[in-house]
Structure 1
């Protein structure tokens, strides 16, 4: 990879960390039926995978999660610290780290390129950024909250409409930015 492209990817990774921080300034919406709020930050995680691919997208999300782990209050509601990884949201946060990697690998596996239909990208982002995160989050929630797995999975259905909307927005934004900046994403 050319040094110019590497520099561009590092700058984009830093910008994605900043976007994740900004999305965290918006308060989460408590749902009442589940101890995990509805947040916009997972859309930033999907953007990281679409814009930066496996390597740089995972690095950006990993840096963000490291800052949260170290105690910076960067999550919605001003949460941060190692304890948030042990609470009800911990599984979702851990799953976020793998989303850019999965998006990149699935795009490479199915040879999805920028010129392909956005439906291909939406399907991949939906699987990696919505289904994967919700299943891992439900597994953690069931274990952490001592509730049956079936209850945790069913309670996660409340996230699906909003998460699908965020996935659609992430794909539209990703495709637009890639075209405007003429990005060469290595998935």
Structure 2
């Protein structure tokens, strides 16, 4: 009997607790603060939490955890790096990046756990780069350009300052996921299909 897919089964208390834990992890990663270089969008460690949420929780719970986190920010909790919170965050230059965390976590989970398979290094790294960097930038840069009234190309060019740090976070997230797969697979709360089993030995035909 196969286990129901994460999409098919209903959320239970454990799922909700894990969603809350990863929302808290993203909040904790904002405690060191942030700094701004050549732009209005702060550089923070919180994207690492987004990458881990998608890669460990999977697409739907990962996206839900980021939705919960941003809902708490919207009601005024100062959970973003630098103690920022409130609905004003979602009309500022970084609004698109923040909202991109939801879509980013979803894409990360879809790639890392594609086909219900066990996360492997190359797919995990590809997933966190695609979701945690490309998707977030794809949503964040146009909104930043709109809010700051700078040309889209200029905004994209200044955003290149984020690339080295985000790639470093992608490497860290990949290493953490790989370690959990080996040492604590229960963190993913799912089972993976075993590798193709070796064929059973064929008994030699008996000679009558």
Same fold (TM over 0.5): yes
Root mean square deviation, CA, Å: 2.1
Q: Which has the larger radius of gyration?
A: 2
Deviation string 1:141-183 (CA, Å, 9 cap, x unpaired) is 1111100000011111100010011011112112323441423
After superposition, where does 1:9-28 map in structure 2 within 5 Å? Answer: 9-28=15-34
Greater helix content: 1
CA displacement at 1:87 relative to structure 2 = 0.4
Aligned residues: 182
**Which residue number corresponds to residue 174 of structure 1?**
177
Verify the 8 A CA contact 1:51 1:185 in the aligned structure 2.
no
Matched, 1:114 2:126: no
CA displacement at 1:47 relative to structure 2 = 0.6
Question: Distance in 2 between the 1:8 and 1:172 partners?
Answer: 25
**Which residue number corresponds to residue 144 of structure 1?**
147
Q: Which is bigger in relative contact order (C-alpha 8 A, separation at least 6)?
A: 1
Unmatched tracts of structure 1, length 5 or more: none
Verify the 8 A CA contact 2:56 2:109 in the aligned structure 1.
no
Question: Distance in 2 between the 1:18 and 1:178 partners?
Answer: 22
SS in 2 for 1:25: coil
**Which residue number corresponds to residue 84 of structure 1?**
89
Matched, 1:57 2:73: no
CA displacement at 1:63 relative to structure 2 = 0.3
**Which residue number corresponds to residue 196 of structure 2?**
none
Question: Distance in 2 between the 1:53 and 1:42 partners?
Answer: 16
TM-score (norm 2): 0.80
